[in-house]
Structure 1
Amino acid sequence: MATTRDRALDAAVRLVGEQGVRALTHARVDAAAGLPKGSTSNWFRTRDALVAGVLVRIAEQERADLLAAMAPARTADEVVDVLTDLLEDATGRHAARTRARYALFLETTAAAAPSSVRDQRSQFEEWTTGLLAGLGAEHPEIAARTLLAVSAGIIVNRLTVAPDTPIRPIVAVAVRGCLPA
């Protein structure tokens, strides 16, 4: 059974993902989570603390998804498959969470982002760098950053103006562009 804190955080993620950052208030989180008034503020005394808590919660959930997906990929097609699946999830079943992450990123400065968010980014970048190095990329660090930038663009595009954009063909071109001919 989820704790009161977890229920509040999950409700906060949904609120921001579905209604935007302005919906993130202690009272609205309590109502959305079905908690007694004041419950969320017991865990997060200020709005800044609530924002930080939500970012950490999103990072924890996304890290679990990433770890599950980070199986070794030995071919370019396997890398394309893994990245496509991650992007499909981020813009499909986890779209509200992804919208919340982007909205809260824009609300905070890079320096204010919880270390778990930066650590997660580094972990995913290292994993992607390793995959591309194993596939023979001449500059695997740059290639990994390129794929992450393309992935971010796909996410924003699908969450805003083109929800039906096919992901796999774009990821395939990007992955193959990072590898020797």
Structure 2
Amino acid sequence: MSNTRIRALEAAVTLIGTEGIRALTHGRIDAAASLPAGSTSNHFRTRAALLAGVIQWIAEAERAEGGFPVVVDTAEDLIAMLQRALELESGPGATRTRARYALFLEALDHDAAAPLRQQRRIFEEWTRDALVRIGGPDAAAGTRMLMAACDGLLLHRVTVDPDAPTDDAIRRAVTAALGA
């Protein structure tokens, strides 16, 4: 991938994550990435192509970081891993998290969001497998509730209170999920 394309995509994620989806224009990206005018348009001819490119970029970046490949064998391991993930996604990764949420909403009815939905399915499968490993087959029923609880905590931290405590809430959600 060319350096210009990478710079454009990184700038696009930052623009969306800090200023919202309306900031996503070819010209704004060129300016934010210190690229010559028209550079972003050379790689992404239309807004739809730009949206698809940014969505794919976010999904690839998350996969490159490893996602959630850790195998957890106890409820305490799961709680600790989820706490670390929330800290990362609402701390150093907050801009990308905000961009991801904005893109999910913008591309709600478009095939462009498929890479983000695939990332979500991977995390859902990982969560289900972890719950079953820890709590047995019945624990699989708690997967979506646990994910929704973590999504709510993450959304709260990236939009309202970046320092909101999550430890007790995650512990309660994991406990409830295992008892599902």
Same fold per TM (> 0.5)? yes
TM-score under structure 1 length normalisation = 0.92
Shift of 1:114: 3.3
- Cα distance in 2 for residues equivalent to 1:117 and 1:103: 12
Cα distance per residue 1:26-60 (max 9 Å; x no partner): 01101111111111011100111111111111111
Please name the residue that 2:88 is paired with. Answer: 89
Alignment partners' CA distance in 1, 2:81 and 2:121: 18
Aligned length: 180
Aligned equivalents of 1:113 and 1:140: distance in 2?
33
Following the alignment from structure 2 to structure 1, what is the Cα–Cα distance between the partners of residues 114 and 105?
A: 16
Question: Identical aligned pairs, as a percentage?
Answer: 48
- Look up the match of 1:54: 54
Structure 2 unaligned residues grouped into runs of 5+: none
Deviation at 1:95, TM superposition (A): 0.5
- What is the Cα-based RMSD across aligned positions, in Å? 1.9
Q: TM-score, normalised by structure 2?
A: 0.92
* Separation (CA, whole Å) in 2 of partners of 1:73 and 1:2: 38
Q: Which residue of 1 aligns with 2:147?
A: 148
1:137, distance to aligned residue in structure 2 (A) = 4.4
Query: Which residue in 2 is equivalent to 1:79?
Result: 78
| In the alignment, structure 1 residue 163 sits paired with structure 2 residue 162 | yes
The answer to whether the aligner puts 1:106 opposite 2:90 as a matched pair is: no
Q: Distance in 2 between matches of 1:63 and 1:132?
A: 22
Query: What displacement does 1:22 show?
Result: 1.1
| SS of structure 1 residue aligned to 2:11 | helix
Q: Any stretches of 5+ residues in structure 1 without a counterpart?
A: none
Distance 1:63 1:22 in 2: 26
Question: Is 1:179 aligned to 2:178, yes or no?
Answer: yes
